[in-house]
Amino acid sequence: MDEPGIAIVTRDRFLASIEARRGQAGAVAATIAAAYGIDLPSAGRWAGGADIAFAWAGPGEWSAIADRPIARDLAGRLAGQAAVTDQSDGWHLTEVSGLRVRDTLAKMLPIDLDPAALPPGAVALTRAGHIDLRLRHLSAGVYELAVFRSLGADFAGWLEASAAEFR
């Protein structure tokens, strides 16, 4: 059987936002490294694995993406260093992959998806039309897209329409 041009899968993951308090970004990074064995990523990057990852979300800000509830654990570990907010119910996550994934996403996103410009391990904060979007390039031909849950149905419809010719 031929591989589909694009595969679209909704992911149920747990998310938390981390915002370092003034002057505490180094302490936050040290705490995360000690607790999870992951160095917090710099601008435009993400780090971690399949079970837990941290994505850059702005200066002194990161998103934690995990297979288990993570916000309470992070809040306890980062008390006094950062504000932690559970974002699990606020985001709709979709994983897209396949031979034509870049062609599909290029119809929607105003960024260069060439692996030389956006290699695996990169994060982009961008827009798909009127929808704010966080994109993680997971591996060759595999991307995770996160949009606000309230716009998830609109985004899913647009993604399906953009992918239709490649499925």
Q: What is the pLDDT of residue 2?
A: 63
Question: 10 Å Cβ neighbour count for 38?
Answer: 17
CA distance 149 to 162: 20
pLDDT-derived band at 78 (thresholds 50, 70, 90) equals very high
**% of the chain surpassing 70 pLDDT:** 98
* pTM higher than 0.75: yes
90-166 in CATH: which number?
A: 3.30.1360.120
Task: Indicate the domain borders of the chain.
Answer: 13-86, 90-166
Q: 79-118, pLDDT tens digit by residue? A: 999 999 999 999 999 999 999 999 999 999 999 999 999 9
pLDDT-derived band at 58 (thresholds 50, 70, 90) equals very high
Specify burial of residue 101 (Cβ count, 10 A radius: 0-12, 13-18, 19+): buried
| Over residues 17-42, mean pLDDT | 98
pLDDT-derived band at 4 (thresholds 50, 70, 90) equals confident
Q: If residue 73 lies in a helix (H) or strand (E), which one and from where to where?
A: helix 71-77
Domain 13-86 class, CATH top level:
alpha beta
Mean pLDDT across the chain:
95
Contact indicator for 55, 41 with CB cutoff of 8 Å: yes
